[in-house]
Amino acid sequence: MSKSEKGVLRSAQGDILVIAATERELAEPDGWRTLCCGVGPVEAAATTAMAISQHRPSAILHVGIAGSRRRPVLEPPALVIGAESVYCDVDPANRWAPRTVAPSSILVEAAQRVLPHAPTLAIGTSARVGGTREVDIEAMEGFAVLRVAQLAGIPAIEIRAIANEIQEPDRARWRFDDAFAAIVAVTPRLVAEFAKCVN
């Protein structure tokens, strides 16, 4: 078995669950659990809910790469701490479904200790590239993961490494490898700090 497979939870020691859309965004577990949730909000919500039902973690760290608009200027592979996750595929006037979910304030403070120079910003979730026009940081799973965690009463946070400018049409200029390396490198430090707060 690989270190993680979509929808499959591999247990290490500890109760912190690290979730990412793809295997390349997951650090090799060393005292935490990992889940490859799949790409997009539907896959992320379904696999996160299944993982929580199988093993209730003490906290969830959702990591991955993201795009950034030209405001603010964030040079890849800058790291971003999620101030909130915004579901941009839902009409802002929708009264029937939540559109934003806040991370755990305890985990935000812990992440800021680990990453004192990283901005804390709203991160948009959309199933399509460019679907987060009102939010400057764009990803595809964060709202889904944090909303499931919220419903389960589990503290959670989203942290992303910037890979590209959303407006950049030339994908050869998107720095995927640098962003993957940045998020994998910081994960052990984040998990260690979170463990002090929730375990």
3-state secondary structure of 101: strand
Q: Do the Cβ atoms of 46 and 85 come closer than 8 Å?
A: no
Alpha helices (H) in 23-170, listed in sequence order: 41-54, 105-114, 142-152
Ramachandran angles phi, psi of 57, nearest 5°: -75, 160
Q: Residue 134's closest CA among 174, 191, 84, 190?
A: 84
Rounded distance, CA 171 to CA 156, Å?
31
Give the pLDDT band (50/70/90) at residue 198.
confident
CATH code for residues 63-198: 3.40.50.1580
Q: Do the Cβ atoms of 7 and 38 come closer than 8 Å?
A: yes
pLDDT higher than threshold 80 for residue 170:
no
Rounded distance, CA 87 to CA 147, Å?
10
The reported pLDDT for the residue numbered 199 is 67
User: In the chain, what are the domain boundaries?
Assistant: 63-198
The reported pLDDT for the residue numbered 12 is 37
Examine residue 169 and say whether the peptide bond preceding it is cis (omega within 30 degrees of 0).
no
Overall average pLDDT of the 42-70 stretch: 95
Q: Does the model's pTM come out above 0.85?
A: yes
Task: Tell how strand 9-10 and strand 33-36 pair up.
Answer: antiparallel
Rg (C-alpha) for the chain, rounded Å, is 15
pLDDT higher than threshold 60 for residue 67:
yes
Q: Do the Cβ atoms of 83 and 124 come closer than 8 Å?
A: no
Give the pLDDT band (50/70/90) at residue 72.
low
The reported pLDDT for the residue numbered 4 is 47
pLDDT higher than threshold 80 for residue 167:
no
Overall average pLDDT of the 136-157 stretch: 97
pLDDT higher than threshold 60 for residue 98:
yes
Q: How many residues does the chain have?
A: 199
Give the pLDDT band (50/70/90) at residue 133.
confident
